[in-house]
Structure 1
């Protein structure tokens, strides 16, 4: 006959560790890119270029820089702006 093993798990500690790991992974993935191009902005927002231009592109708070023919957006500032912008949108 085998030996029984009993394991006690502190669920709150497991949740704390998981949240720490997730936060670290999110922070790492966000800092991978210094800036986004228009294709990355479209991917991150799930919006078409026309929708981006109609909704927030010309907002003075949205930091952008045109280099030659291409637009570039500082990743950290763009993400912060988009979170604020989305929270400001009202539902009809």
Structure 2
């Protein structure tokens, strides 16, 4: 006779962890962000972005036609560095 015991909480947590990994992969499939997506990703307004870091020479951006585009991975790396440089108030 074979007896199997399952820890439902562990299975549920494993499922949630795997789902989160897949959702992050889907999100990273975007290669470019526009200003609307940058605002969404940072939870900042366009004016706040322009005031805080838009004109930082390290910030990756390219204007094509009349619209700004940001390479997603490079922008994410910049933002993670930028936020660590900000003073705690």
Question: Aligning the two structures, in what range does the TM-score lie when normalised by the shorter sequence?
Answer: 0.7 to 0.9
Q: Does 1:22 align with 2:20?
A: yes
Normalised to the residue count of structure 2, the TM-score between the two structures is 0.76
TM-score, L = length of structure 1: 0.74
Q: Give the number of the structure whose alpha-carbon radius of gyration is greater.
A: 1
> 1:73 maps to what in 2?
70
Which structure 1 residue ranges, 5 or more long, are not aligned? none
Q: What RMSD, in angstroms, separates the aligned Cα atoms of the two structures?
A: 2.3
SS, match of residue 36 in structure 1? strand
Cα deviation, residue 11, structure 1? 7.0
Task: Give 1:1-92 correspondences, 5 Å limit.
Answer: 7-9=5-7, 18-31=16-29, 33-92=30-89
* Whole-angstrom CA distance in 1 between matches of 2:35 and 2:26: 21
Aligned length: 86
